[in-house]
């Protein structure tokens, strides 16, 4: 089962670069390095023979991204340690800004104390709040919503305004409707598929369909029911692998996380031969060709 990634971030006051914490950052490398386009381009860079058909038409773009990300001369397939090291040396500088991003600040004022709060609002107006601790979190949040509404409607204060261009980073996470579960499990699905793991086992290990999970004790179940479970798991796993490959191909071009199809994407590099796995003696009950290839 794919483990949940620990969000990566960076703090301007400590590192000279600011990145808001996000769970997607730890998945950038696993996706880029499993992209068929990335693998072909970096192999060619290392002097290995690569068939022309495996190289993408936008080879130059993939090469430039690999170069900027510092991945030209290293093997793909990284562990967590390498991923963290890459983020600290390279990633945070690509996705971060050299200016401190405006954020909420707080100061606890004890009963009977008097405190002076210094507000620096270089980029936009700032609302200063006083929140007594006798309020519950729910009550406080409700009051804050009312404050937002009053300032927006009566004083024309705009919330969510974009930051100035000086805050732009070289790369940004793409707006995406992909489910978190899909993005997390997708990287693992590609790795398993590349290793030749049967699709139903990929679906089973990643628990893609809880209603069709197969335990070791279930292998003796009715063969028709077992075949149906494997069929459903195979269909869902292949769907996940296809989506993950598109995410990987987009990532190799600096677009993450995005599953948008595009002509240059290499989606057939991991194509498997049709037919049943070698050594299977069970009579063929369903057509598995469509589940084993692109």
pLDDT exceeds 60 at position 277: no
**Residues 6+ positions from 250 with CB-CB distance below 8 Å:** 174, 256, 257, 258, 259, 260, 262, 265
Q: Are 48 and 31 in contact (CB under 8 A)?
A: no
Percent of the chain with pLDDT over 70: 87
Indicate left, alpha or beta for 119 from its phi (over 0: left) and psi (-120 to 50: alpha).
Answer: beta
- Tell me the pLDDT tens digit for each residue of 97-133: 988 777 787 888 888 888 887 777 777 778 888 888 8
Q: Extract the tokens encoding 32.
A: 């880029």
Tell me, yes or no, if the pTM score tops 0.75: yes
Helices and strands of the chain, counted as H and E runs: 10, 2
Q: Mind giving me the DSSP string for 96-131?
A: -BSSPPP--------TT---------SSS-------
The alpha carbon of residue 197 and the mean position of all alpha carbons in its chain are separated, in whole angstroms, by 22
**Residues 6+ positions from 195 with CB-CB distance below 8 Å:** none
Please give the average per-residue pLDDT across 193-199, as a whole number.
Answer: 94
Tokens 């390095």 locate to 33
- pLDDT confidence of residue 287: 36
- pLDDT confidence of residue 129: 86
- Tell me the pLDDT tens digit for each residue of 47-97: 999 999 999 999 999 999 999 999 998 765 567 888 999 999 999 999 999
* Least confident span in 18-32, 75-89, 228-242: 75-89
In which band, very low, low, confident or very high, does the pLDDT at 240 lie, cut at 50, 70 and 90? very high
SS (H, E, C) 159-176: CCCCCCHHHCCCCCECCC
pLDDT exceeds 60 at position 42: yes
pLDDT exceeds 50 at position 156: yes
pLDDT exceeds 80 at position 30: yes
Q: How far apart are CA 46 and CA 88, in angstroms?
A: 25
Q: How far apart are CA 2 and CA 244, in angstroms?
A: 13
Higher-pLDDT residue of 242, 217: 242
């Amino acid at each position: 089962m794919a483990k949940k990634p620990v969000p990566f971030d960076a703090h301007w006051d400590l590192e000279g670069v600011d990145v808001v914490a996000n769970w997607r950052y730890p998945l950038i490398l696993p996706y880029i390095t499993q992209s068929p386009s990335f693998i072909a381009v970096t192999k060619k860079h290392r002097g290995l023979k690569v068939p022309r058909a495996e190289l993408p038409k936008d080879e130059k773009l993939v090469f430039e991204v690999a170069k900027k990300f510092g991945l030209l001369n290293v093997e793909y397939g990284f562990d967590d340690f390498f991923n963290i090291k890459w983020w600290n040396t390279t990633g945070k500088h690509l996705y971060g800004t050299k200016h401190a991003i405006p954020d909420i600040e707080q100061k606890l004022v004890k009963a009977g104390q008097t405190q002076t709060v210094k507000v620096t609002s270089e980029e936009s107006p700032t609302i200063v709040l006083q929140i007594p601790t006798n309020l519950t979190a729910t009550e406080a949040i409700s009051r804050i919503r009312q404050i937002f509404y009053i300032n927006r409607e009566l004083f024309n204060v705009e919330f969510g305004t974009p930051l100035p261009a000086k805050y732009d980073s070289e790369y940004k996470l793409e707006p995406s409707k992909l489910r978190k579960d899909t993005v997390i499990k997708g990287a693992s699905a590609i790795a398993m598929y590349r290793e030749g793991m049967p699709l139903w086992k990929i679906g089973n290990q990643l628990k893609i369909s809880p209603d069709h999970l197969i335990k070791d004790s279930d292998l003796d179940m009715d063969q028709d029911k077992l075949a149906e479970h494997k069929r459903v798991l195979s269909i869902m796993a292949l769907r996940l692998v296809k989506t993950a490959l598109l995410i990987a191909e987009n990532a190799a071009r600096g677009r993450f996380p995005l599953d948008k199809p595009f002509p240059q994407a290499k989606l057939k590099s991991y194509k498997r031969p049709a037919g049943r796995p070698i050594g299977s003696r069970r009579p063929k009950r369903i057509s598995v060709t469509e589940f084993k290839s692109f």
